[in-house]
Amino acid sequence: MIKGEVFVLSAPAGGGKTTLANLLLKEVPNLVRITTCTTRKPRPGEKNGIDYFFLSKEEFQQKIKENAFLEYAIVHGNYYGTPKEEVLKEINKGNDVLLVIDVQGMRQIKKNFKDVVTIFLIPPSFEELINRMKKRGDSEEEIKKRIETAKIELKAWKEYDYIVINDIIEKAKEDLKKIIFASRLKTTRFSPEILGDKILKELMED
């Protein structure tokens, strides 16, 4: 079976990555999102194993020692990490995996994983990014923190394979779908075994 690929989607806070990721998961066949691990407490309505795998700090640190994460980071005092085993399980089934992570996480994954496609999502303007943060209901203090982080993250755009401007959400979604579908047509993801024509199959296998 042809293995799937890992797609990393990053954006500054308020860039729209979560909204677009949810749309892609609904519309792109064989694209899955991995449930990540965290040490933060569950919020009302969140379920273990669905929203996150909720771990104690000790459990998380043990997994770090076991090299169980493709990437991990500490955000606002809590650990967050992508379990390597879950990713490998899905790509070995032929599914593509969508990871919504920050620049720091992307850098770790590129070091630890060979088959990865990275996409950076940006807003149409910095002013619009700030407006989106405000619409999310973030506090002034939180917005200031996120703005400073965004200034640093935006400088990393050249480290990504693709860049998509999220101005009109429908267009941004279609641009992301084009990247995924084009990647699926690469020669590295093709096997003559899928061909119905025996002669063509034999010629291409030689």
Task: Determine whether 50 is exposed, middle or buried from the number of CB atoms within 10 Å of its CB (0-12, 13-18, 19+).
Answer: exposed
Q: Rounded distance, CA 106 to CA 112, Å?
A: 10
CATH architecture of residue range(s) 6-34+94-205: 3-Layer(aba) Sandwich (3.40)
Per-residue confidence in pLDDT tens, the chain, 206 aa: 788 999 999 998 778 888 999 999 999 999 999 988 999 988 888 889 888 899 999 999 999 999 999 999 887 789 999 999 999 999 999 999 999 988 988 999 998 887 799 999 999 888 888 887 777 766 788 888 888 888 999 999 999 999 999 999 999 999 999 999 999 999 988 888 888 888 988 888 86
Residue of 28, 35, 118, 40 lying closest to 82 (CA atoms): 35
**Spans of all domains in the chain:** 6-34+94-205
Q: Are 81 and 69 in contact (CB under 8 A)?
A: yes
What pTM, to 2 d.p., does this model score? Answer: 0.86
